[in-house]
Amino acid sequence: MHYRRTFGIMFATIFALCALAMLAAAQQQTAPFVVHRLKDNVYWIEGGVGNSEFVVGQNGVIVIDTKQTVNSGMEILADIAKVTPNPITHVILTHSDGDHVNGLVAFPVEVTIIAQDNCKKELQAAITAGARGALPREYLPNQTFDLKDSLALDGVRFQLLHYGPAHTSGDTIVYLPDQKIVFTGDILASVSPDPIIHMEKNGSPAGWIKTMKEIVKLDSDTYVPGHGDVQTKADVQKKLEEFQEKDIKIKALVAQGKTLEEVKEAMGVVTPPPAPPGGGGPPRFASFAETDYQELTKK
């Protein structure tokens, strides 16, 4: 995997932005946690900032993403304890964003933490940079994979899939082939009109489209996004088609030599108003038109 920026400088910027986003999120009213049974022993924990999931195996529990704070991590553990007395044995991280990993500090340090190679590198770089909100070193992933890993955890089959940079450089799609359920992390965020692409984490609009094409090929009709409600295959296909069409239009505009502002205007991107005095309000993410233009015109 080739990186386009120096990790130390990049991650100091990343986690400064993440700290602001976390502060803004903390100032908002977050939804209470609600546990939904999806199928068999597979559960989705709605609420907080980002979604989490857990799978009850024969002797243990596998958790997917741990939300944003130690308190939310503790609430995950309490919710799981209401379902099963089995201990947490594994945590799978879909990517390195703080709202999906920072709840880990509430978990036992002996759990196996699984992530894609680049996700671990991003978390390590944050520690090296002394970034605010970085995970303690003892909670770094201790099991990683590159493009694909097939695991049997407590009698449950998992496929961990990475199709290249998309939301970040280290995304993991978690697929349960027997239950036909897909956990997408922030590749999908049904609360956001546009895909959220972290260019500062070497995310890629082209990679997002590639990843979405692969996701819809999976034998599933239940897709749990990183944020928002569960999606169907039809929902995912519609989202993919919408942004494939936008990508074609943006490429044509770039080929005509249009500026970013001209592309945004042509694509109907509305610049949000300035943040209120003193900060607050939800974090702003770049539109697909902005990130796609940035990738297409990068020297």
Query: Does the residue 149 lie in any domain?
Result: yes
Q: Looking at the predicted structure, is the pLDDT value of residue 147 above 70?
A: yes
Residue 243 is assigned to a structural domain of this protein: no
Q: What is the pLDDT of residues 237-278, one digit of tens each?
A: 999 999 999 999 999 999 999 999 999 999 999 877 666 666
Residue 155 lies in a domain: yes
- Residue 15 is predicted with a pLDDT of 39
Give the model confidence (pLDDT) of 195-233 as tens digits: 999 999 999 999 999 999 999 999 999 999 999 999 999
| For residues 27-48, average pLDDT | 84
Q: How far apart are CA 174 and CA 183, in angstroms?
A: 5
Q: In this predicted structure, what is the pLDDT of residue 271?
A: 75
Please report whether residue 290 resides in a domain: no
Domain count, the chain: 1
Residue 285 lies in a domain: no
pTM for the model: 0.88
Higher pLDDT, 284 or 57: 57
* Domain around 144: 7-238
Question: Is 48 among the domain residues?
Answer: yes
Where is average pLDDT lowest: 68-72, 90-94, 117-121, 284-288? 284-288
User: 250 lies in a domain?
Assistant: no
Q: What is the CATH number of the domain that holds 225?
A: 3.60.15.10
pLDDT > 90: percent of the chain: 80
Length of the chain: 299
Residue 2 forms part of a structural domain = no
Mean pLDDT of the chain: 89
